[in-house]
Structure 1
C-alpha cells in the first residue's frame, strides 16, 4: 500500500512532536473545524454601548471564539466550540449581564441509541421516557420495551450522551450506549507492540491527527482501540497503516482488525441463563409446596401425615409450606422488591409493585394464619403460601419465555447481517486501468473508491458501481425479484446480492453502516422500536392498571366486610376460627393476587418485535407496528 496516498499519514518528523503526548494536549486550533455558530434574539438593547457590553461579556467566556451584537436588529451571533461551552451557558451569560434572551434558536439535532436495563413492564418504559423528556435539550425520546432500547433526539449544545445516561440511571434503570449520530462508521483494532501508556498515547494521538477521525477510544488493558471515522475522508486500512507508521525508536506497532462479540447476543444469553436459573430455583421450592397443599391432601392415606399437629392447630403441612415459601419470597423474589423500590421512588407503579404487593400480602397473611394456628386450640384457616411461591414461579417462567422470544428475533437480524460476505478481492490498478495486484481482504477493511473483483457465484461485498465486465446479479434478497438483473458498465450493485455468471470489477461507493443492507437492518430495528396504535392504547390503560387493581381489591374486601356486618350471607360460610373481617380479607387478597401478571403492556410489543424479526428473515420488511396493524386489510 502506498503511504503517500494515505489520509492523515504521520511522517517521521511529525512523530517527534508526540514525545510527550500526556503532558502536551492537542492544540485548541485543531478544533476549528468543530466551531459552531448560534444566534440569539436579545431584548433591552438600547444603544451601541449595550451591544459592546454583551460582546465584552461573551468574549471572556472560555470557548467563545468571537461574538457580534447588532444593536439595531437586537441580535447576537456567537461562534463557539461545543467541546468547551454550550449554547445554554452562553444564553445564561447574556441574561446574567441583564439582557433577556427572547428567542433561543433550535440547534442541530443529534441522535443516540441506548440499551436500557431493568425495565419490567410498560410503566417502566413510560418512566424512562418521562425522565428523558425532562432533560433540557432533548427533542424526542422513544423507548422500546420489548427491544429494551431507547432512541433519543437531542440538541448537542444543551446536553450530551453522558447526561442522558445519568438521567436514566437516576430514574433507577441501567443504560449502555449503543451508537450515536457521529459514530456511523466504527472500526475496532487489536494492537501489538503497545507495552506502556506512553505507547498507547502515541497511537491515540496519531489516530486523532488523521483527517476524518471523529473519536478514538482506547483500552490499554485489552490492547484495543475503537475509532469512529468519516468514510468520505479515511478508512480502516488507512487507520491501520497510521498505527504501524507511528512506531519509532525501534518500536514497531502492529494493528489488526478485531471483531468484538455482538453485545446484544452476549447480554441476551446472560439474561436467558439468569431467568432460567431463577425459575428452576423457584421450582425447587414451589413444586413441593404445590404437592403438599394441592396433591397429597387429595390422596389419602399418603397425605395424612401432613395433618399431624405440631402445636395446637399448626400442622406439619402448614409448617413445611411456610419453610419452603420463605426463600422463594425473599431470595428468588428479591428482584421484585428492587424493581418496586425504584418504581415507587419515581412515584409510579409497575408490574414489580403489583407482584411484590400481591405476594407479600399473601405471604404475610399466611404467616398471620400460621401464628394464629400456633396460638389457638380450635382454628380453621386457609394459608396462601402456595399462591405466593407459585405466582413468583409463573412470572419468572413468563419472563424466561419472553427473553427467549427476544433472542430469536435478534437471530433473525443477525441472519440479515450475515448476508454480506466475509472477504473480498481488492484490486490495485495503474493509471491505464490495468490490474497490478490482487489481494483478499476482510470486507470490514473496504474503503470508499476501492476497486473490488467479484467472481461468478460470489456475493457483492459492498454497494458500488460496475467499472468493468458484465454479468447477471441475483437481487432477490433486496427487491424480491426472482429473475437475475443484467449489470454492465455504470450499473449499480448492492452489497449482499449474488453475482451469477460473469466477472465484475466494482468501485465501492457505500461501505460499512452506509450500505443498503446495513440500512435495512437499521430499518428493522427501528420498526421494533416503533409502537403500534393498539400498543399506545395498552400503554394508556397500563398507567392506571396497578392503582385500579389495588382499588378493586380494597372494594372487594370492603364489600364482603359490609355484607358480613349486616348479615347478608349465611354465617356457616365463615370457616371456624375466622371472623367476617378475615373472610373479606381473603377475597380482597384473591383479587390482588389474580391480577398480578401484567401481560397487558408486554403482549403487543413482544408480538411486534417477533413479527418484524421473523418477517425480515423471510425477506419481508415490516416498517413497524402500524403497518402490521393495517395488514389485515390486505386482500
Structure 2
C-alpha cells in the first residue's frame, strides 16, 4: 500500500500552477563521487535507485572509479542535487558533487503520429506531406497511405506546433486527429512507467485542481507529465471538448506497495464520486479501422442512393432513347417539350435526378478539390507562384472536373434549349439527347463503385501491427497471498474479486482477476491453458509449451520450464504456469515489434518516390490534354475538317467535342500508379512479420534486399550459436606452484575478473569456466576494455600488485608478451585448425617503485562455439541463387577459415582479424570491389534507375550480425540484418530484424523481398500501360478509323477497374497460389544434415 495520507481529504492543499504553466526546465549533467561501493551489486543498486528518481533521465555508475554520471531535467538545480545526494547517502554510501556542466536549455524534439482520413492515392499523400513539411518547426514527415497516418518529428512548443500541423492538413480538406506523441530527446527509462488515467465523476471546477495537487504531494513521488483534466487543459492540449478527462503520470513501481492499483485506490478514496481507470488513446491502427469503417459506411449510403437514381436515369436516358422505336408513344411522350422552349420532359427529368447526385453525392470530390485549390492559392501559401501552375491537384480534382463539366455544360445546353422555340422536326430524329445529365449520374455511380471496392480491399490488407496488437488479453489472474488480498483487494476495489485458482497454486495463495492495465513488472500472474501472457517474464512455477508462431513464425510449440523466458503474444499450449512479469505496458518484445513495424511502414521505397513525382505532375498534364482535346475536336468540327455526320443531328460541335474532354478527365488514373508500391509493400510487411522478420527499414530496405549481390556474415553469434560457447581445453603456462605470486587459482581468478566486464560470448565462456575451477575472488583495482583486442587490468592482494591482460594473439604481440615456446604455438595451431577460438592471458608483477617487468604468458583457453545447424544449408542456398557469401570476424585467420570451411564459404571470402571499427571499412570495400550478380540488361537498367544507393552500379551488400561490434557494419551495409537475440545496439542499427535466431529466416527474407518487388514492378507496369493506352483512346485517336469512342460513363468504369486491379494484385501476395502468392519452404533437419555431409565430403576430396 502506498504511504499516502490515511485521510486524503485532510491533506493541506496549497495553490500550485498547472503542469502547462510550470517554469521551463533545463537539462543538467553532473558527476557525483560515491564512496563505499565494493561490488557490482552495490553499483547496480545505486544505478537502480538513481534511475527511479522522477527527474533523472539517465544514470551510469562506474564501480572501478567510484563515480556516477547523472543527467537530469528540472527547473531547480539545487533541489535535484540535494535529492540525489540524500538518496545515495540513505543507502549507506558517501556522496558528493564532483562536476556540473553549464545549464543547457532543453529544446525538445517531439515524434507524433496522426491519423488522417480521406487520402485515396499517392497524389493525396504528396499534398499532405508537402503541407506538413511546410509547417514551421517540422523536421521530418512521412505519410502512410495504407494506414491513413503520418509520423511527424518537430521541435519547439508541443501544443503550438501540433495545432499548426492539424490546421495545415485540415485546410486541405482531410480529417486529422492526434494519436501518439512523445519527447524523443528524453532518454526512456524502462524502470519508470508512464500511463494515462481517466478520471470521471467531477462535479465542480475545483475537482481537477484537487486531483493535481494530490498527485503532486503523493509519496512515493509521481510526476505529472500532462494534464487534460479541465476543459481548458484539453483545449490547450489539442484535445476535443468532449474527450475524457485524463492525466498522464509517470512513476517507478514498487510491487506491491506502489503500483497503479494503489494509485487508483487512493484517488478514488479522495472523493467517493471519482471513478478512475487506465485510459488508452486509440492506436493508429484502431483509428485507421474506425476511419475505414466510417468511410465505407458513407460510401455505402451514397452508393445506395445513387443506385436508386441510376435506375430511372438508365430507363429514361438509355433504354427509351436508344432501344425504343422513335414512333413509340412513351418515347414521344418523353421527347415532348415542357414548360419552356424546346426543353423536353426527358431533359427536365434528368436534371432533377442529376442535381442531388452532383451536389449531395459527388460533393466529397468537390469539397476536397476546392480545399486543395484554396490551400494552394491562399495568402501565405509557401508554394512558389510558378509551381502553382504546373504541379497541383489530385484525383479528386480530376473527378470533380469531369463530373462538374458534364453537369454544368448540360445545364447550359438546357438553358439554351429553354430559349429556343420548339421544332417539330426534332421528334423524328434518332439522335441522342444533347446533354450529359445522365453522364453525371453514371460517372458518379461507377466512381463510387470503384472507390467502395478499393476502400474495402485496402481494409482487407489487414495491418500487421493490428494483428499483433490483438494478441493482448484483456484480463489476467494476479497471484496474491491471502493476507494481502484481504487487506487490499476487496470486491469493490479496482483489483477485482478474489477467487481460488488452479491446482498448481499453493494453498496459501489466491488470485484476483484484474485488467491487464493494472499489472506491474514484478507481479506474479497465472497463464492458464490457451492463455496469452500480458508481458514478458520468467516462469517461476510449472512447465508447459508455448506457441510462438505469432512472433517468430516458428510453427512447433517451444517447451518452457522454470527460469525460462516467455513473451507477450505467445499462447500457452500446456498446463497453467506462474510467471513473474519483467516487462509490461509498452516495454515487452511484442511492443518493440509493433514499434519497429510501425516505423518501417512509414519509410517509402525509392520507387514510391518516383511514383509520387509522376502523380505530382499528372493532374496538370491531364488537364492540359483534356482542354487541348476539346479545342482540337471543336476546331475540326467548326472548320469542316471532319464530316458533319460524325455528330448527332441535334448536337452541337461544342457539346460533341466536350464528351471527349470529359472522358479524358475521368479515365486518367493516377491512383493506380500511386497504389502500385504502397499496397504491395504493405502486404509484404505483414507477411514478413508473420514469418518473424521485422522490416525496420521499410520500403527502401525491401527494395535493396530484392537486389542483393553480396551477403556478409559475422562469425560469432551469427554462423555460430554465440550464446553458449564452452571452454573445451586450457593450458597453464607455469613452472612449479607459482610464478610472480600467481598460482593456478590466482590465474583463473584474474582471468575471470577481467572477463566479467565484457558481454562478448568468448568472455562469458571464460568466466563460466573459471568460476567452476576456483573459489574466492581477487580485488580489481582497475579494469579497462581494449576494443577488438581484449582487456587489461590491475589486481592487488596481500602478496603485491599484478597487471594482467587477456585477449587475442594480436593483443599479446602488441603488448610484448614473452613465453611463446614452440610447444604452445603448436597447441594454438592445433586448436585453431579445429575451428576453436583461442583466448590468451599474460601478467607481470608491478614493483614497489611502479616499474614493471615484461608481460609473460600465463594461460591459454580454447573456446568452442557450436555452429548453427542451419548455417551450412543457408550459405549453400544463397550461393545457388547467385549471391556472393563472405564471412567477417575478429578471430584469428586459422579459426575463421576453419569455420568457413565447415559452412561452405570459400577461404578467399574470409576477412579475419578485423577490429570492430574496421568492419564498416570492409563493408565499404566489398561494395566497391565485389561483382554484381548476373542479370538481364533490362533488369539491370531498371534496378540502377530505381536504386536508392548513390552509386547504383556497385554491389549491393547485406551484413548479418548480432553484436555491439557489428553495429557500424550493419549501419554502413546497404541492408543491415540483425539476429533477434543480438544486442540492442545491433538491433537499432539494422534495417531488418530476424525475431527468431534462425538463419533460414534470411532465405525467407530474400525470396519475399524479390516477390514483393516483382509485384511492385508488375503493378507499376500495369498502371502505366493503362494510362498510356486508355488516355489516347479517350482523346479520340482512333475515332476517325471506326467512328467509335469511349463515353465518359465507360471511362469512369475503366478508371475504377484500374486502381482496384492494383489493390487486388497486391492482395494476391497473401495467398499461396502458384505464381501469384508467396510460399516459403520448410527446411527439414535431413536437408540440413545432407548439406553438411556434402561439404565434409568435398573437404576430404580436397585433402
Tell me whether the two structures share a fold, i.e. TM-score over 0.5. yes
- Answer yes or no: is 1:217 the counterpart of 2:228: yes
Larger Rg: 2
Whether contact under 8 Å (2:434, 2:650) holds in the other structure is no
Matched with 1:344 is 373
Which residue is equivalent to 2:204? 196
- Residue 548 of structure 1: SS of its match in structure 2? helix
Structure 1 position 357 matched with structure 2 position 398: no
Aligned to 2:47: none
Q: Does 1:299 align with 2:310?
A: no
Structure 2 counterpart of 1:561: 634
Question: Matched residues in 1 for 2:168 and 2:242: separation?
Answer: 30
**Number of residues paired by the alignment?**
567
Matched, 1:372 2:416: yes
Partner of 1:58: none
1:444 match: secondary structure: helix
- Alignment map for 1:437-448 (pairs within 5 Å): 437-448=510-521
Judge conservation of contact 2:553–2:691 (CA < 8 Å) in 1.
no
- Give, in angstroms, the shift of residue 357 of structure 1: 1.3
| Worse-matched range after superposition: 116-125 or 331-340 | 116-125
Distance (Å, rounded) in 2 between the aligned partners of 1:436 and 1:179: 39
Tell me if the contact between 2:115 and 2:177 (Cα under 8 Å) persists in the aligned partners: yes
Post-superposition shift, 1:478?
Answer: 1.6
Tell me if the contact between 2:476 and 2:513 (Cα under 8 Å) persists in the aligned partners: yes
Contact 2:601 2:682 in 1 (8 A): yes
2:151 is the alignment partner of 1:143: no
- Pairwise CA distance, 1:528: 4.3
Change (3 A) 1:247 1:170: same
Query: In structure 2, do the counterparts of structure 1 residues 573 and 245 end up closer, same or farther at CA, with 3 Å as the change threshold?
Result: closer
Q: Is the 8 A contact 1:469 1:489 kept in 2?
A: yes
Q: Residues 333 and 13 of structure 1: is their aligned pair in 2 closer, same or farther, counting only changes over 3 Å?
A: closer
Higher mean C-alpha deviation, range 258-267 or range 526-535: 258-267
From 469, 473, 479, the equivalent of 1:427 is: 479
Matched, 1:535 2:608: yes
Task: Decide which moves more: 189-198 or 368-377.
Answer: 189-198
Query: 2:436 is matched with which residue?
Result: 384
C-alpha distance in structure 2 between counterparts of 1:534 and 1:516, whole Å: 31
Residues 235, 596 of structure 1: CA spacing in aligned structure 2 closer, same or farther, 3 A cutoff? farther
2:620 alignment counterpart: 547
The aligned counterpart of 1:394 is 446
CA distance in 1, matches of 2:318, 2:118: 34
Counterpart Cα distance in 2 of 1:570 and 1:556 = 17
8 Å Cα contact 1:463-1:492 kept in structure 2: yes
Aligned counterparts of 2:369 and 2:21: Cα–Cα separation in 1: 51
Aligned to 1:181: 182
* TM-score normalised by the chain length of structure 1: 0.76
SS of equivalent to 1:180: strand
8 Å Cα contact 1:286/1:325 also seen in 2: no
Q: Aligned to 1:392, what secondary structure does the other structure show? A: helix
| C-alpha contact (below 8 Å) 1:240/1:256 kept by paired residues | no
Aligned 8 A contact 1:231 1:447 in 2? no
Provide, for residues 159-206 of structure 1, a one-character-per-residue CA deviation record: whole Å limited to 9, x for no partner: 643333233334443321110125997655554664333233222333
- Residue 3 of structure 1 corresponds to 2
Rounded Cα–Cα distance in structure 2 between residues aligned with 1:271 and 1:35? 45
User: CA RMSD for the aligned pairs?
Assistant: 4.1
Q: Is the 8 A contact 2:545 2:559 kept in 1?
A: yes
TM-score w.r.t. length of structure 2: 0.46
1:482 CA displacement? 2.6
Could you tell me which residue of structure 1 aligns to residue 123 of structure 2? 123
Structure 2 gaps of 5+ residues are 30-73, 78-100, 232-240, 377-391, 483-504, 703-1007, 1015-1077, 1081-1103
Equivalent residue for 1:245, pick from 248, 266, 271: 266
Q: How much does 1:353 deviate?
A: 1.6
Rounded to whole Å, the distance in 2 between the matches of 1:581 and 1:27 is: 67
Q: Report the counterpart of residue 839 of structure 2 in structure 1.
A: none
Cα distance, 1:277–1:26 mapped onto 2, change above 3 Å: closer
Report what 2:559 is aligned to. 486
Instruction: Determine if contact 1:416/1:617 at 8 Å carries over to the other structure.
Output: no
Greater Cα shift, 400-409 or 389-398:
400-409
Tell me how far apart the structure 1 counterparts of residues 274 and 653 of structure 2 sit (CA, whole Å). Answer: 82
Residue 596 and residue 512 in structure 1: after superposition, are their counterparts in 2 closer, same or farther (change >3 A)?
same
Partner residue of 2:361 out of 332, 354, 362 = 332
Report the Cα distance in structure 2 between the residues aligned to 1:150 and 1:417, rounded to whole angstroms: 19
What SS is found at the alignment partner of 2:229?
Answer: strand
- Cα distance in 2 between the residues matched to 1:151 and 1:227: 24
Cα deviation, 1:239-292, whole Å, max 9, x if unaligned, reads 453343246788574534567875444443322211211222222223321221
Residue 372 to residue 565, structure 1, CA distance change in 2 (3 Å):
closer
Query: Is the contact made by 1:190 and 1:223 (CA closer than 8 Å) also made in structure 2?
Result: no
What SS is found at the alignment partner of 1:318?
helix
Give the whole-Å Cα distance in 1 for the aligned partners of 2:21 and 2:395.
Answer: 53
Work out the CA distance in 2 between the residues paired with 1:235 and 1:536: 50
Within 2, Cα distance between the matches of 1:469 and 1:555?
Answer: 78
* Residue 214 of structure 2, aligned match among 169, 192, 206: 206
Q: Measure the CA separation in 1 of the matches of 2:115 and 2:647.
A: 53
- 3-state DSSP class of the match of 1:152? strand
- The verdict on how the C-alpha distance between 1:160 and 1:514 changes in structure 2, with shifts beyond 3 A counting, is farther
Deviation at 1:133, TM superposition (A): 1.4
Q: 1: CA distance between counterparts of 2:521 and 2:368?
A: 48
User: Which segment drifts farther, 210-219 or 227-236?
Assistant: 227-236
Aligned to 2:661: 588
Question: Secondary structure of the residue that 2:352 maps to in structure 1?
Answer: helix
Moved more, 205-214 or 227-236: 227-236
| CA shift in 2, pair 1:501/1:287, >3 Å | same
With CA pairs under 8 Å and 6+ residues apart, which has the higher RCO, 1 or 2? 1
CA pair 304-529 structure 1, distance change in 2 beyond 3 A: farther
Secondary structure in 2 matching 1:214: strand
Residues 630 and 658, structure 2, Cα contact 8 Å, conserved in 1? yes
Shift of 1:481: 2.0
Q: What does residue 268 of structure 1 align with?
A: 292
8 Å contact 2:20–2:226 — kept in the other structure? no
Which deviations, in whole Å up to 9, do the C-alpha atoms of 1:110-159 show, x marking residues without a partner? 21100123434433322221122123332210011232211011224686
Give the structure 1 partner of residue 170 of structure 2: 169
Q: CA deviation at 1:401?
A: 2.5
**Which residue is 2:11 aligned to?**
16
- Structure 2: how far apart are the matches of 1:615 and 1:332? 40
What is the alpha-carbon distance in structure 2 between the residues aligned to residue 344 and residue 552 of structure 1? Answer: 20
Given the alignment of the two structures, is residue 323 of structure 1 paired with residue 378 of structure 2, yes or no?
Answer: no
Relative distance call for 1:125 and 1:173 in structure 2 (3 A) is same
Aligned partners of 2:114 and 2:180 also within 8 Å: yes
Distance across 1 between alignment mates of 2:367 and 2:480: 60
Partner in structure 2 of residue 51 of structure 1: none
Looking at structure 2, the residues matched to 249 and 592 of structure 1 have their Cα atoms a distance apart, in angstroms, of 65
For 1:600 and 1:402, the matched residues in 2 are separated by: 14
CA distance in 2, matches of 1:391, 1:112: 39
Deviation at 1:497, TM superposition (A): 1.4
- Following superposition, the deviation at residue 550 of structure 1 comes to 1.2
SS at match of 1:512: coil
Give CA-to-partner distance per residue, 1:403-425, whole Å, 9 cap, x none.
Answer: 33344445875443232223222
Deviations 1:560-582 (A, max 9, x none): 23434553322333443555455
